[in-house]
Amino acid sequence: MSDIGLRQLDELWARGCDFLGSQYAILGGAMSWISERHLVSAISNGGGFGILACGSMSPELLDAEIKATQALTSKPFGVNLITMHPNLDQLIDVCGANKVGHVVLAGGLPSAQSIRTAKDFGAKVVCFAPALIIAKKLIRSGADALIIEGAEAGGHIGPVATSVLAQEILPEMASQLPVFVAGGIGRGEAIVSYLDMGAAGVQLGTRFVCAEECVAHPKFKQAFLRASARDAQPTVQIDPAFPVIPVRALVNKGTQRFAQFQGEVIARWRNGEVEQKAAQLEIEHFWAGALRRAVVDGDVENGSVMAGQSVGLVTKEQSTSDIIQELVAQAVVGLDARSPRKIA
């Protein structure tokens, strides 16, 4: 890596690094069952910024996981909390008791009170903004930074591509607070492109699944290594009367069965065998525990193998540090390529 390119990169994401307290403004996306103590600490120790995925953890479990992560790294890391969690207030209190420096509120629009409670104990609060109007509302509510995540990402997704969200939100918001871009990012050159547009940094999830420190089942990792971008598809909704929140995952027997299952349940509703509310619940419960089955148990045929479209860029298992250094090197090469060329 050239010193000039590295200095340019340092300047481009200086704001993000200052906000996070990390060497590089690369956040590790919070992935349930995956972003636990080992991967989170490895990302932070490698110069990035790990984010612990609370998911459905109880306050007691989250307390233990934060303490275990702190035992593995002295570097800053954040905690991702789902706003719909029934014990959200207690989870925020757990973060405060453990002096967590950054709280990420995800999975819905957080209340101003939740943001204020986290800020009151000194945490910086990061929120997801799927549209410009929501970004403005979150700023009014006190958010310290935003993440904009496009439809290319793995897991639960919105309908808008990362590139479009970046064009919509960065010109308006980047001057007001740090904005991190996520969704479909797998190489350093892409990181530079968003930094150029005003982003303070980026967030990657899929790229870290095949890190050596990641505890995901070997079969889960193998599914990533075999997959191409087109294999990561959103779940299908077959009837607008029964809405399905789209989840991007690798197509397998489970995803194929889900479409068939919806048809069976809807047919029973049309025949008067089940009420609409009960039918909707059946559809929603189809995937219950499916991510754990895939990540922990290795059932990659019937479980939910959540993956972003950047899965095609995951070609080998590497240490977390090597992944981060590879991204940085690619970014520097991209910046070096801009240097004026001598004309003979």
Reply yes or no on whether the pLDDT at 339 is more than 70: no
Is the model's pLDDT at 344 over the cut of 60?
Answer: no
Q: Is residue 4 over pLDDT 50?
A: yes
pLDDT bracket for residue 340 (50, 70, 90): low
The DSSP annotation for 134-148 comes to HHHHHHHHT-SEEEE
The pLDDT tens digits for 125-135 are: 999 999 999 99
Beta bridge partners of 301: none
Dist CA 35 CA 65 (whole Å): 11
**Entry pTM:** 0.94
pLDDT value at residue 2: 85
For residues 311 and 326, what is the distance between their CA atoms, to the nearest angstrom? 16
pLDDT of residue 185: 98
Q: What was the pLDDT predicted at 277?
A: 94
Buried b (16+ CB within 10 A) or exposed e, 75-93: bebbbbbbeebebbeebbb
**SS3 state at 110:** coil
The full set of domains in the chain, from first to last, is: 3-215+315-336 (3.20.20.70), 228-295 (no CATH)
Tokens of 3: 């010193």
Statement: residue 342 has pLDDT above 70 = no
Check pLDDT > 60 for residue 343.
no
Token pair, residue 232, equals 């990561």
Query: 28: closest CA among 214, 176, 196?
Result: 214
- pLDDT for 283-306, tens place per residue? 999 998 999 999 999 999 999 999
**What residues have CB less than 8 Å from 14, skipping those under 6 apart?**
none
